[in-house]
Chain A
């Protein structure tokens, strides 16, 4: 079967290359049948990649260790769902998954728009074909998942920390996001190559961009929850380079989703939007380079390999291509209008964009810093948590404030008196919240206090906006139905507020204690008394589970278990934390077993994390808001069709 997989990949490479070359010739020479043929090549590329994926998936489920990839990432005792998740758990498989999603997205996007935007789509096909050619080439020539070997008795198994339900969903969601950013990039490049730089490419890619952005957001939150429950260090985001690799394109895409509204309404920021789309795409490829090159130390990295230089080369080539096509059409991208006032909705979007891109670039600099110091000084220096926290506060808090101001400010311009009148209730809510928090003793963290106060301001402004809009239209349902993207966006803003509350609460107001306990001994943390009762060892399907049994009392009472899992096939251990959520106090009691002595004594680290669960609730609200914004709206296509028909009439 490995032969079939290899053959399918070679066919995929040939088809992607054909889509690139024939598509470019067809678009340049204005040849209809050749353009249709290139489009079909993208569809066929998806088909052959699907065959290759089925071959690998079947090998993983059958534990066919004659496949080197299967032997390297699974074992006989590995449950089937984790065996299947090894598809994207290793380098070669994840590249195949990337190509599968890319060819599916590309074929679908081109098929949907082939009639209305045929002149644009003619140029989109070679761009998608170009990206697919790169990945197919990598799979065929550099990192083939269908290498075979003499069949060993058992495989090496999957890294224990990846044997978690979140790992079944987190990586594919991130890939759906990363790869999804190729579609707006391809349409933007197609618009530039064809000279059709009006709004058509934006209408065509609006939902693709939203979907990719939503997948990246949900994927990151799932990853954060995985880190919280599985990695066992007590946090959920460590500013790890690979975590940052997912954050950067998400920030760029967030900036684009806001700035594109200015182009739609005022015809401004055309160059900026092209730059943002290209930046989001380049950062998604750069993230893949970071994960695979071995240039940065990360728990997420794949084994160091030569694949990184290929990705770096692709990033450079595609960035040069983006710059060249933007410069080529620069005169066409000039804005027809100007910003009328610094006090307007479009100005608020602009400030939001500057802050988002500034945050994105500071994170990028933090990721690149170790590489730069290695190249310049020969020693690796990393940017620590204080660097990232400083910039998160510096740019994140003003962004939070803007989220409250933006919805309530009018397009074009507004007077200071109007603005103050509009904002008086949100300001009152923020001040009241701030005073109440200071009275409750929350002033111990200035950043936390500011975050909570700004959050109250944003919530009040969203509520006010919904109330006024409902009054104007007669019903909330009508209001949301009229502009799902805007009101879905407000739901996402509410999710960001929950995120801010969760981050501020768990980091600024958390408590942590460490202590070695013998059987029967106790420790007290933030109103909880924990008593260590002893060790308990059980044998699971593929691991030995050792747990310290701890009784807790005080703010809540019960028993929790915290310890380690020992995986004989992988010859590794994983830390398994004990977590109890106190819903009444909205906090988590989080117990880490740092070390177990031979005599049964245990070194415990105990954390009490207020409001941390708001992060996971934020994920659900984010998903709901994204769905509202993403919900299909046939009116958009109808309007575009009407415009095109009128232009032709």
Chain B
């Protein structure tokens, strides 16, 4: 008999718990799930892209500092990664400035990219390491001004 009573109490408690959201708000003004809009999702994708790009830059710096990557490889990789980070930041900035309906391509071509802020920490890292002394030449070859042509003495 006791078991039946305990069972009944258990069932009633379960029903109350399940019905609780409806008991608390019998007539909710807004019963929609607070899901993100497509525009918010698009911005989230841009933020994710930005974080990936900045995390990749930090990872490259760290790999360079720990000797996993040589100076030549570093110079080749750092330029494209910086551009990718700047593009991602510009896209995000353009998205905020010109409204959420901007396409990503348009945003990348936004006229004045925002100043690059401090790198966003990568997904699982905290304080960024002290920036490495970047080897010569700096900026990397693909970003640097082309060297002057050699002076040819007149005949």
Contacts and interface: CB of A to CB of B under 8 A. Distances in A.
Contacts of A415: 70, 72-73
A118 B34 contact: yes
Among B3, B32, B96, max chain A CB count under 10 A is at: B3
Interface in B95-141: 96, 121-127, 129
Interface in B65-99: 65-70, 72-73, 77, 96
Contacts of B129: 472-473
Interface string A80-112: 000000000000000000000000000000000
B154 interface: no
B18 interface: yes
Given A40-B18, A48-B14, A472-B66, A30 B7 contact: no
A243 B85 CA distance: 48
A377 B153 CA distance: 90
A1 interface: yes
A36 B25 CA distance: 12
Binding site of A, secondary structure by majority: helix, strand, loop or mixed? helix
A31 interface: yes
A483 B49 CA distance: 21
A5 to B, nearest CB: 8
A269 B125 CA distance: 22
A646 B89 CA distance: 13
Contacts of A649: 96
A62 interface: no
B47 A412 contact: no
B84 to A, nearest CB: 10
A417 interface: yes
B11 A409 contact: no
Nearest to A55: B3
Interface in B9-63: 10-11, 13-14, 17-22, 25, 28, 30-36, 40-41, 43-45, 47-49, 51-52, 55-56, 59-60, 62-63
B17 A36 contact: no
Contacts of A15: 14, 18
Interface residues of B, number: 57
Contacts of A267: 48-49, 52
A36 to B, nearest CB: 4
A493 B56 CA distance: 24
A596 interface: no
B3 A7 contact: yes
Contact of A32 (B7, B14, B32, B125): B32
A643 B47 contact: yes
Contact of B13 (A3, A34, A44, A646): A44
Contacts of B152: none
Contact of A4 (B3, B52, B56, B77): B3
Interface in A363-417: 408-415, 417
Given A472-B66, A473-B129, A483-B124, A37 B20 contact: yes
Contacts of B127: 478, 482
B123 A31 contact: no
A36 B21 CA distance: 6
B6 interface: yes
B62 A8 contact: no
Interface string A229-265: 0000000000000000000000000000000000011
Contacts of B11: 7, 11
A37 B6 CA distance: 23
Contacts of B17: 40-41, 43-44, 47
A53 to B, nearest CB: 13
Contacts of A585: none
Among A1, A422, A472, A483, max chain B CB count under 10 A is at: A472
A647 B44 contact: yes
B144 interface: no
A636 interface: yes
Nearest to A473: B129
Contact of B56 (A118, A411, A482): A411
A647 B36 contact: yes
A469 B45 contact: no
B32 A30 contact: yes
B51 A643 contact: yes
Contact of B125 (A409, A418, A482): A482
Interface string A612-649: 00000000000000000000010110010001101111
A26 B33 contact: yes
A156 B44 CA distance: 61
B72 to A, nearest CB: 7
Nearest to B32: A30
Given A32-B34, A36-B21, A198 B48 contact: yes
A266 interface: yes
B7 A481 contact: no
Contacts of A633: 124
A37 B63 contact: no
Contacts of B36: 119, 647-648
Given A44-B13, A413-B73, A639 B59 contact: no
B25 to A, nearest CB: 6
B59 A482 contact: no
A410 B63 contact: yes
B67 to A, nearest CB: 6
Nearest to A418: B70
Nearest to B42: A647
A33 B26 CA distance: 10
Contact of B10 (A11, A36, A119, A468): A11
A291 B101 CA distance: 55
B3 A411 contact: no
Nearest to A341: B73
A486 B62 CA distance: 14
B13 to A, nearest CB: 7
Nearest to B44: A647
A33 B28 contact: yes
A486 B34 CA distance: 35
Contacts of A481: 126
Contact of A411 (B20, B41, B59): B59
Contacts of A408: 68
Contacts of B52: 265-267
Contacts of B28: 32-33
B43 A647 contact: yes
Contact of B121 (A412, A635, A648): A635
A108 B77 CA distance: 43
Contacts of A504: none
Given A31-B31, A47-B17, A414-B69, 8 more contacts: A1-B3, A4-B7, A7-B3, A30-B33, A34-B21, A43-B17, A421-B67, A635-B121
Interface of A: 1-4, 7-8, 11, 14-15, 18, 26-27, 30-37, 40-41, 43-44, 47-48, 51, 118-119, 122, 196, 198-199, 203, 264-267, 336, 408-415, 417-418, 421-422, 465, 468-469, 471-473, 478, 481-486, 633, 635-636, 639, 643-644, 646-649
24 contacts: A26-B33, A32-B21, A47-B14, A47-B17, A51-B10, A119-B34, A198-B45, A203-B123, A265-B123, A267-B52, A411-B56, A414-B69, A414-B70, A414-B73, A415-B72, A472-B129, A478-B127, A486-B124, A639-B121, A646-B43, A647-B43, A647-B47, A648-B36, A648-B40
